[in-house]
Structure 1
Amino acid sequence: MLVVLLLLMAAPGLCVLRRYHFIFDLKTFTEAQSYCREKYTDLATIESMEDVEILNSMAETAGVSAPWLGLYDDDDLMWRWSLSDTSFYTHGKEEFRQWGAGEPSNGGSGEHCTVIDGYGQWLDTSCTDNIQAVCSDVRGLDVTFVLTDDSMTWTEAQSYCREHHTDLASVRDMTENQKVQELVPAGGYVWIGLFRDSWKWSDGSSSSFRYWIAGQPNSDNQDCAAADFTSSGGWWDGNCEQKYPFICYSQVTSKLVIRLRLQRKSSSLDLNDPAVMEAMLKQLQQKLKDQGLNDDVRLSFRKQSDGKVFHKEKKKTGSRKDEL
């Protein structure tokens, strides 16, 4: 038997690994962005209601009501899934699409959300339509689909699915498309999680989480997002040239050390050989990806005081009580 210490480094996406900083200086969005990138990591990215609750708690102490966040509108409309874990719906391959003929059409320049019909075809439509939705329950790479009882807008459906399930349905292949199609009411449509949104995070995050106040965003000339902590931390769009306080974040790195016991099948195999260790790390990394973890996870072996990673395990010897 052999003993090895393995270092697992976790990055954002596995858990909340951001530390937020409220800055009281009044700056435009661009000035705030430059400041955060110089002093910390970037303007704040918000990925979940847990993040919102953290900021609400901090704002109550800080007394800040309307700071800039790291979200801005660059007018570049791209289709993406509500579920922000890209490793789930791509899994090393091109994203699946099943658009109907002539779709997406973006009629009236206002069709930014996706429905699936009873034929399994996708159509873009207004996100304010009230229809039923298909939610998903995700466990690793396995998924089950659930039809909602009530009709709602796409945003309402997204909030409902995230509260009661994992998210709105992401469809990865024809098999899953057929499963969702079977849930479509006769002659009707249902929401799925594909949408297009020109709002992006300053740090390049792919997070699709949004927490807009009702009716927001509401102006073509207000391209930067701020939080309103008098309204539960909801977001509104503002003029990027206005000067407000802002929220930065700094990256927090977490590390987990795991002790493993391995058994050699061949006595001639040198587990401390760099090539052998590299091959083992690649296999372990692939197993983590197969289980749904993203590429932000990094694995490495930790060397011990003698410069080696692996050591033969010492056999435990029994102890004998002293006789009185």
Structure 2
Amino acid sequence: MEQRLIHIILFSGFLSVILCDSHDYVLIQENRAWNEALDYCRKNYIDLATVQTDQEWNKLKKLRAKYRSNEQSNTWIGLYDAVNSWRWSLQNECQTYVNWDKDEPNNYKGNQYCVMLDSDGHWHAENCSRKCVAICENDQGPVLVTDAEMSWKTAQSVCRKIFTDFYTVRTESENQQLTEMIKGYPCAWIGLFRDSWTWTDQTSISSSLRWAEKQPDNLSGDEICAAVNENGRITDEPCSKKFFFFCKSSSISSLVTETVKRQILRLEVKAGDNVIDQVTADALLKEVQQKLGEQGMAADVKFSWRQQPNGKLFQTLKKNNYRFSKCSKY
């Protein structure tokens, strides 16, 4: 039976330690490399700190002020540049074949997330706003779109609207074919791209990141980990540097002191085409309550389902709408 993804939105009071948005931060006053800090936080708390809302930034600010040290300026948080998340536009397929030019990808100036093919058949990571022709894919194979040079995002929209998607290059012979097609053009977009800055706990970036001036810049060529400077702004740093770090902490005892509030939990599950909304909802609600109860959730928490604008509890997700790349390292 064909499977599909169903999107379920659940309203609740307090959730489990991991799922609840109410959390605290802990400043670990030990100098560690970013990966060491990540391992420490995941072992002893939840994760490195995710900081997005004004309330969360204020928590960090107060914590830094409380334990201020003249010798410590930068502090690690759980933000990193997902330089290893390369995948194809069509169905988010991870890369297998590559033909990078020498010293590519190098993430020059810290803003290269899209891939172009040059006239010699080599691949270059580029700023996605650069203007190139595009190579799309249809049932017969690659199609060169030369009506106008365009950004990668615009090219993706054109490919998906008129054809299937960007072309996915899987072999050397395919790459040679494309190289022949683009003769006379300096560059052509292909469907390879990657994520940019990402939170280690996979929280979606919901607001503008508070970068320091002229950041990120990847000045040393390996600045893919993020720290908060003494002014409360984010800087990109080599992951090998050793700083104090913020962990995200949450416990049932600390949550009890928080004001009770309504929260949203989004679930993605697989189900057959004969799903009956209310039957599925009742079964999932029972299972969620059981799982969260096992993690220490209070017995008096109340659950209810939120209807979608179309009046249904569930909606089908397209395969290309996965929030996080399966190709990512973390």
- If the length of structure 1 is used for normalisation, what is the TM-score? 0.43
- If the length of structure 2 is used for normalisation, what is the TM-score? 0.42
Structure with bigger gyration radius: 1
